[in-house]
Amino acid sequence: MRVKICGITNLEDALDAINSGADALGFVFYEPSPRYIKPIDARNIVEELPPFIQSVGLFVNETTEFINKISKESKMQLVQIIDDENIVNYDKLEVKHLKVLRVRNKEDLQNLKDEYYLVDAFVDEFGGAGKRLALDLFKNIDCSKFILAGGLNKDNLKELNNFGFFGVDVSSAVEKEKGKKDKNKMSQFVKAAHEIA
């Protein structure tokens, strides 16, 4: 089970996340978020990261040009895209991408393209809201290309056993306060994620 910790705003949290065993770090390039990070600050963190750790830039309803520019400036290896307004031209993106599927019901999980998705609960306001998706939605569905997000914590991760998700994404449950991670919560979360069968 791969683990991404989203909403990294400083180097200390980034290194603690990695020492906890996280595979990927998420950087929020959405200015209204309390977890927003400037591209130059994200780049300074990314330049300090060890090998084999993926940096993921999160964009909300931004243009292709903006995503290309900011992901290059900040040295992101992957971009996570919320594109409710359908404005992104994926053929013109110059960086590997992961689409976010904001799910309201089972229909939202049907007829998907054969690609990886980050699957999150739909909330009116964007971001790290801690809202969970009902796992019933995933029964009898191939979850091997889904990274599950939304309201996960060290205690409810065991409910994911046997679904076969590719990975999990967490933000609020491993925070001390919005924008600041908690080292112990991150390591307990990653440990619990690694125990999922």
Q: Which of 9, 20, 33, 188 binds ligand LARABZUK (CB under 6 A)?
A: 33
Residues 57-116, interacting with ligand LARABZUK (CB under 6 A) = 58, 60, 82
Q: Which of 13, 16, 62, 120 binds ligand LARABZUK (CB under 6 A)?
A: 120
| Minimum separation from the CB atom of position 19 to ligand LARABZUK (A) | 20
CA distance 5 to 117: 16
Sequence-distant (≥ 6) Cβ neighbours of residue 142 within 8 angstroms: 164
Token duo for residue 62: 């931004």
Show the DSSP H helices in the chain as ranges. Answer: 11-19, 39-46, 64-74, 183-194
Q: Which of 171, 186, 189, 192 binds ligand LARABZUK (CB under 6 A)?
A: 171
| Minimum separation from the CB atom of position 103 to ligand LARABZUK (A) | 12
Residue 17 binds ligand LARABZUK (CB under 6 A): no
Phi, psi of 57 (to 5 degrees): -95, 130
Kindly tell me which of 55 and 172 has the beta carbon lying closer to ligand LARABZUK: 172
Q: Which of 79, 170, 190, 193 binds ligand LARABZUK (CB under 6 A)?
A: 170
Q: Which of 11, 30, 102, 196 binds ligand LARABZUK (CB under 6 A)?
A: 30
Closest-by-Cβ residue to ligand LARABZUK is 127
* DSSP single-letter state for residue 110: S
Buried/exposed code over 116-149 (b: 16+ C-beta within 10 A; e: otherwise): bbbbbbeeeebbbbbebbeeebbeeeebebbbbb
Residue 152 binds ligand LARABZUK (CB under 6 A): yes
Task: For Cα atoms 86, 143, 53, give the angle at the middle one, nearest 5 degrees.
Answer: 75
Residue 39 binds ligand LARABZUK (CB under 6 A): no
